[in-house]
Chains A and B, each alone.
Chain A
């Protein structure tokens, strides 16, 4: 490549590169830097702490609880919302009456801001007058303190998350389904393949690229989405619903320990990178891309 095209290439890359550096890479490096210091006391220089913040993290019970909460939260929401998304997509992709209205209905939770969603569900989950408890009451069952009971709080959040996320993932599955060649299904039908056989041998494998994309996004969202915690539980009761990102927020803006928050952020970042790598390496080889 000659000098001119080389220069052109870099000039073309420059705007995106500046944005990426300014808002992603430099903050990441500065987070790493911050995590190696103790919080500055008034008027004094921040003291270099080495790996002290990381040692503190290993001994921090709340961190371990938040991590385990978050893993359960991911495990509880990701597979369920993906299966639900696929089922809904298959349904609204079939020739049924009013499927446009149905698609819109499924997609509505995605369009609502998380805060609004949380407010709606706060009403569902209210201890005395909430929708769910009224339903239980009409069946003659004892009411449950959905968000106040440490055993019920996290599952309650999961249910709401699934409700919100499934419609979003459905859109990806729906787009992928509509991109499939109908001749393939005609050919399979003529070959005597049953609907279940067609689903297992055609639809599922042909949707694998979409599934990987959705999986990566769903896992990221399970660690990223914490808006609803501010409305519903604030991480309580007794940290039963505390998730990593919310714990980072607490440390930075409630406890004003931005250095420890930086440490936690770095750990979360490494965790997400590892998860993404794991998903890609496990699934990539088994996926057929067109």
Chain B
């Protein structure tokens, strides 16, 4: 059974279409990331699912129940906010139990759920503190506990880790994913951080200008981007898109290697990053377009030095120059587009 079904959702303000005919489904127990740059409509989508914004048109169904026009409290959703939205005057315990009290869950049941959830998120000693006395990570846990304790069929998360420092964010990512798996939660997770989406999600909805650019498992978005937007968004640094005639050749920096023979290139910038080095190389044979490549370790390459680059042809992607859509390789590229004489570069 489909858990959440979003059908042709639309929302616009003053002539700007924030969410444009959006349709997707989330299955039970799935962790789906709603990924996209800021302004792509992902937060608006989440708010409409939560009932905090009214869609202009479209339908929302949760477990077969139409929730499009229901008030937020009757949708059976839990939500973790970016600001955590903890009630500053209430203790951690009262924060977690706020919803259960509002819904008049009996005290015995409340206490049972509280004990379970405090164990899960490890908040025992903090129960009687106020949110102001907690660290960012602890506030995050309280917000999470409040969402878990509701035992709602769908949990919405709006960039919940973006206010944490990098180290804590990595820890919480692992913990959040483990918790979701353990409890079998269905989660819709809004983020602009592709690392979070790639590492946590079962499937990613990548949004662009209010539409779905691609919806699929992280490895599909990485290995088979449907268009140049996905190709440019996923991966760090993103995929190189080199213009050749009426097509764009896509090749990821990590798939490019230095070889004895190959495409001529000249080093224009070297960016050492510890585990590896990102090199910007200009291609003199192709209007000096820049191609980035990632090489392991510390590469001492002088500026302007000449390189020969190559990559496996299986890692090539082809896109239409005008529409940006992915082209089927079998029809589109009978041979290597950069060097006509050599059909493939075998590493």
CB distance B81 to A187 under 8 Å?
yes
Contact with B along A155-166 (1 / 0, CB 8 A): 000000000000
A290 at interface, CB cutoff 8 A: yes
- B102: contacting residue among A183, A191, A288, CB under 8 A: A191
* Per-position 1/0 for A162-180, Cβ under 8 A of B: 0000000000000000000
Contact with A along B83-124 (1 / 0, CB 8 A): 101011110000000110011000000000000000000000
Is B212 close to A, CB under 8 A? no
Residue of A nearest to B149 (CB): A191
Residues of chain A with a CB closer than 8 A to B85's CB: 181, 183-184, 186-187
Contact B77 A190 (CB under 8 A): yes
User: Which B residues are within 8 Å of any A CB, using their own CB?
Assistant: 50-52, 71-75, 77-79, 81-83, 85, 87-90, 98-99, 102-103, 130, 132, 146, 150
Output the least CB separation between B142 and chain A (Å). Answer: 12
The residues of B that contact A194 with a CB separation of less than 8 Å are 73, 102
Question: In the complex, which of the residues A188, A189, A191, A290 contacts B88, with contact meaning CB atoms closer than 8 Å?
Answer: A290
Q: In the bound complex, how far is the Cα of B122 from the Cα of A41, in angstroms?
A: 81
State whether A190 touches B102 (Cβ < 8 A). Answer: no
Give the distance in Å from the alpha carbon of A183 to the alpha carbon of B143 in the complex: 12
Contacts of A144 in B (CB 8 A): none
Q: Are B71 and A189 in contact, with the CB atoms below 8 A?
A: yes
Closest to A189 in B: B72
In the assembled complex, the CB of B156 is this many whole angstroms from the nearest CB of chain A, namely 8
A140 part of interface (Cβ distance < 8 Å)? no
Interface: A76 (CB within 8 A):
no
Do B132 and A201 have beta carbons less than 8 Å apart? Answer: no
* Given contacts A197-B102, A290-B132, A184 and B73 within 8 Å (CB-CB): no
Is the C-beta of A206 less than 8 angstroms from some C-beta in chain B? yes
Query: Does A98 lie at the interface of the complex (its beta carbon under 8 Å from any beta carbon of B)?
Result: no
Q: How far is the CB of B200 from chain A (nearest CB, A)?
A: 22
On whether the beta carbons of B81 and A193 are closer than 8 Å, the reply is: no
What 3 A-B pairs have minimum CB-CB distances, sorted nearest first?
A: A191-B99, A288-B89, A192-B73
**Which B residues are in CB contact (< 8 Å) with A184?**
85, 87
A205 at interface by CB-CB < 8 Å: yes
A181-B85, A183-B81, A186-B81 known; A201+B98 contact, CB < 8 A:
yes
Pick the residue among A181, A197, A202 that contacts B83 (CB under 8 A): A181
From residue A24, how far is it (CB to closest CB) to chain B in Å? Answer: 35
Distance between Cα atoms of A201 and B87 in the complex (Å) = 9
Which residues in B have their C-beta under 8 angstroms from that of A189? 51-52, 71-73
Assess whether A288 is in contact with B88, with CB atoms less than 8 Å apart.
Answer: yes
The residue of chain B having its C-beta at the shortest distance from the C-beta of A187 within the complex is B85
Distance, CA A197 to CA B73, complexed state (A): 12
Given contacts A190-B77, A194-B102, A201-B102, 16 further A-B contacts (CB under 8 A): A181-B83, A184-B87, A187-B79, A187-B87, A188-B98, A189-B51, A190-B72, A190-B78, A190-B99, A192-B73, A193-B98, A193-B99, A193-B102, A194-B73, A208-B89, A288-B88
Find the B residue at minimum CB distance from A290.
B88
Q: Which residues of B contact A183 (CB under 8 A)?
A: 81-83, 85
With contact pairs A181-B83, A290-B132 given, residues A186 and B50 touching in the complex (Cβ less than 8 Å): yes
Contacting residues, chain B, for A191 (C-beta < 8 A): 73, 98-99, 102-103, 146, 150
- Chain B residues whose C-beta falls within 8 Å of the C-beta of A288 in the assembled complex: 88-89, 130
Q: Which residues of A contact B77 (CB under 8 A)?
A: 190
- Chain A residues near B88: list those with CB within 8 A: 206, 288, 290
Q: Are A192 and B99 in contact (CB under 8 A)?
A: yes
- B52: nearest residue on chain A (CB-CB)? A186
A80–B175 alpha-carbon span in the complex (Å): 52
Residues in B neighbouring A206, C-beta threshold 8 A: 88-89
Chain A residues within an 8 Å CB radius of B150: 191
CA distance A154 to B82 in the complex (A): 54
| Residue in chain A with minimal CB distance to B150 | A191
Question: Are A193 and B89 in contact (CB-based, < 8 A)?
Answer: no
Residues of A contacting B74 in the complex (Cβ-Cβ under 8 angstroms): 192
Given contacts A193-B102, A202-B87, A206-B89, A186 and B72 within 8 Å (CB-CB): yes
Cβ distance B94 to chain A, nearest Cβ, rounded Å: 9
Nearest B residue to A205 by beta-carbon distance? B89
Complex CA gap A187/B99 in Å reads: 9
- Residues B73 and A193 in contact, CB atoms below 8 Å apart: yes
Tell me the complex Cα distance, A290–B79, Å.
Answer: 24
Return the contact of B50 from the options A181, A190, A192, A205 (Cβ within 8 A): A190
**Most chain A CB inside 10 Å of its own CB: which residue of B51, B73, B132, B146:** B73
Q: In the complex the two chains form, what is the Cα distance from A191 to B98 in whole Å?
A: 7
CA distance A208 to B77 in the complex (A): 30
Interface of chain A residues 206 through 229 with chain B (CB within 8 A): 206, 208
Q: From B97, which residue of chain A is reached at the shortest CB distance?
A: A191
| Chain B residue at smallest Cβ distance from A194 | B102
A181 to B81, CA, bound (A): 12
Which chain A residue has the least Cβ–Cβ distance from B80?
A187
Q: Which of B79, B82, B90 contacts A190 (CB 8 A)?
A: B79
Residues of A within 8 A of B75 (CB): 190
CA distance A288 to B77 in the complex (A): 29
